Structure 1
Amino acid sequence: MIDVIRETQLPVLAVLLLLAAVGKTAVRPSGAEGPMSLLPARVRRPAALATAGVEAAFAVLLVAAAGPLGDAARAGTAALFGVAVLALLRLRRRDPEQGCGCFGGLSSTPVGWRTIARAGLLAAAAAAALGLPVSGLAVATGFTATHAAVLAVELAVLGVLSPELVEIPRRVRHRVPCELREVPLSRTLRRLYASDVWHMNAEVVTTAEPVDVWRQECLRFVRFGGRRQDRAVDVVFAVPMDGRPPVVRALIVDVETGVPVASFGAVADPPRPRRAPEGETADSGRRPAPYEVV
């Protein structure tokens, strides 16, 4: 029975690796770059394609190879999923709203313990297959009822650990335009605080919370008070809400003159911002924004 369980891992791992490779190449990430988001922007796509190539190669070897080459592929697969566990843990701390990118843009649900547990389970499955004298193809051609029972149980466990099975049908049924999509302010702020633009301007910001928040189409604008060169300024950040990797932009405006003094990204020169009532921090809906994006 133990050998049957070990043998079943070969076709399961091969299919999952192949699906992951196809997803990374065919479905462009939409808020689902996964651990690739930890890399510089210019190398993320090449790194994703390289990972897909490695996954596809391991998938082929798991099916076709036995002996030392087969064991090398199984060890490599175990290492790949082991590294994925560590990368997902780091990603969850750094950007809790980022999808795992396991199957490209289909894996846009924020990384959670289910996703991490799935990667750990697959690493263990690959390690368990080490030393088997047969290839994945031999297992598939000699599939028995016992193999089928083990496969059914394993697929059920993987289904529980796979948020994609819920996310994909939901995205197909409910494709709400980003202009109308409800996005919690807390998610916007997490995206903002994780961005490079925020860290570049954090020293200028003097208010702990936003003094004004509003939406315009697929952007949420967040305004903070600040000081720059001993002058009061408004620091306005534009944060995308459409699920794509967030490209946060910022504009710093002199409060007294209404003149922009610095910008980070394609934010147009605005008029002097509307002042919110004392203590107001709530999102004010889709009213006309005092800052327009070009």
Structure 2
Amino acid sequence: MVTSIQNTQVLLLATVLLAACLAKLMIRERALDVPDHVHGVPVPAGLTALRRSRGLNVGLGLGEGLLGLALLVTSHVSVRLATTVAFAAATWVVGELRAHRPDAGCGCFGGLSGKRVGVRTVLRAVLFTAAAVASLGAPLAGLQVLRDVQAQVGVVLLAELALFAALSPELSALLERGGFAPGRGRPPMPCERRRSPIAETYATLYESGAWAEHENLVSSALPLDVWREGCWRFVVFPARVDGRDTEIVFAVSTGERDRVVLSAFAQPEEAGAGPLSAVL
């Protein structure tokens, strides 16, 4: 049983590496526009330097593809060690992005990985590193496992792929690109009547360019006030600009599709004047 699990990890890692290679080569990433400071603290520029270079990104994708192919054709320990080091390094990078620049996305699967780096992305990287460590003792190469697939290998591989899909925000991005996003093909519900969970509002806000532009000015992670009027939900955060206390009002649309985020500054005494006066 232990050997079957180890052999399964070889197939899993080869699949992931080849998928990452294809995504990086075929789907370009959006241009990054992220601040140099977050909450007044400078962030390492090197974290996203790779993402700005198409050539380096393609090179990384090709390296992942070669490593995935090597896992399929050979069981040499050097290939397994290189895979383990690669996933351990990726886990460190994702952890740093989560801590310093979560809005930049991880770029793990090229342009599909543009969403905010969350706990799921970090957990996925940790599990892949654990799988790479487990694969060190696998006696067979990937193609050898495929030639004689055992029931145990198939069950474990399907379970791991299902877990991988559940931890991957890229899946929804892929469905959207293919036109299979939820709600496609039917008229959207009017935004003023649509139920908009607060979690959806925060997710839209944190992934927006308006938040990326002003995040370094926000002085508290907790909003001062949140309310909804019609097609908009307003979220007010305390901020500090040029040494003075102020407030930033974010207006997040509640539409079913193509939600946008607007922002404006307001003096604390003006915050109660109403949403339109604060944002317009």
Q: How high is the TM-score relative to the length of structure 2?
A: 0.64
| Superposed counterparts of 1:110-259, under 5 Å | 110-170=116-176, 172=179, 173=181, 183-184=204-205, 187-188=208-209, 190-193=211-214, 204=242, 206-210=244-248, 220=262, 222-223=264-265
Counterpart-to-counterpart distance in 1, 2:33 and 2:156: 32
Equivalent position amino acid for 1:5 in 2: I
* Percent identity (aligned): 30
Q: Does the Cα contact within 8 Å between 2:210 and 2:263 map onto a contact in 1? A: no
Counterpart-to-counterpart distance in 2, 1:153 and 1:119: 17
Q: Does the Cα contact within 8 Å between 1:33 and 1:105 map onto a contact in 2? A: no
Structure 1 residue 91 corresponds to structure 2 residue 83: no
Q: Which residue of 1 aligns with 2:22?
A: 22
Equivalent position amino acid for 2:62 in 1: G
Partner secondary structure for residue 143 of structure 1: coil
Counterpart-to-counterpart distance in 1, 2:164 and 2:250: 44
Equivalent position amino acid for 2:70 in 1: L
Q: CA deviation at 1:184?
A: 3.0
Distance 1:220 1:146, change over 3 A: same
Counterpart-to-counterpart distance in 1, 2:61 and 2:45: 12
Q: Which residue of 1 aligns with 2:59?
A: 50
Q: How high is the TM-score relative to the length of structure 1?
A: 0.62
Counterpart-to-counterpart distance in 2, 1:100 and 1:59: 20
Q: Does the Cα contact within 8 Å between 1:31 and 1:105 map onto a contact in 2? A: no
Counterpart-to-counterpart distance in 2, 1:145 and 1:118: 25
Counterpart-to-counterpart distance in 2, 1:141 and 1:36: 46
Counterpart-to-counterpart distance in 2, 1:188 and 1:132: 45
Counterpart-to-counterpart distance in 2, 1:99 and 1:71: 32
* Runs of at least 5 residues in structure 1 that lack an aligned partner in the other structure: 197-201, 226-276, 290-294
Q: CA deviation at 1:120?
A: 1.1
Equivalent position amino acid for 2:68 in 1: A
Larger RCO: 1 or 2 (CA < 8 Å, sep 6+): 2
Q: CA deviation at 1:33?
A: 10
Counterpart-to-counterpart distance in 2, 1:145 and 1:165: 27
Counterpart-to-counterpart distance in 2, 1:120 and 1:278: 46
Equivalent position amino acid for 2:69 in 1: V
Counterpart-to-counterpart distance in 1, 2:273 and 2:106: 32
Instruction: Tell me the alpha carbon deviations over residues 193-223 of structure 1, each in whole angstroms, 9 at most, x when there is no partner.
Output: 4579xxxxx87463432389899x9884645
Partner secondary structure for residue 157 of structure 1: helix
Aligned length: 225
Q: Which residue of 1 aligns with 2:69?
A: 60
Counterpart-to-counterpart distance in 2, 1:33 and 1:160: 28
Partner secondary structure for residue 208 of structure 1: strand
Distance 1:214 1:155, change over 3 A: closer
Q: Does the Cα contact within 8 Å between 1:212 and 1:283 map onto a contact in 2? A: no
Higher alpha-carbon Rg:
1
Counterpart-to-counterpart distance in 2, 1:166 and 1:9: 25
Counterpart-to-counterpart distance in 2, 1:136 and 1:23: 21
Task: Return 10-19 or 123-132, whichever deviates more.
Answer: 123-132
Aligned-residue RMSD, C-alpha = 4.1
Q: Which residue of 1 aligns with 2:85?
A: 79
Counterpart-to-counterpart distance in 2, 1:144 and 1:36: 47
Alignment partner for residue 278 of structure 1, among 237, 261, 270?
270
Counterpart-to-counterpart distance in 2, 1:6 and 1:153: 14
Higher fraction of helix: 2
Q: CA deviation at 1:169?
A: 2.3
Partner secondary structure for residue 279 of structure 1: helix
Q: Which residue of 2 aligns with 1:255?
A: none
Q: Which residue of 2 aligns with 1:270?
A: none
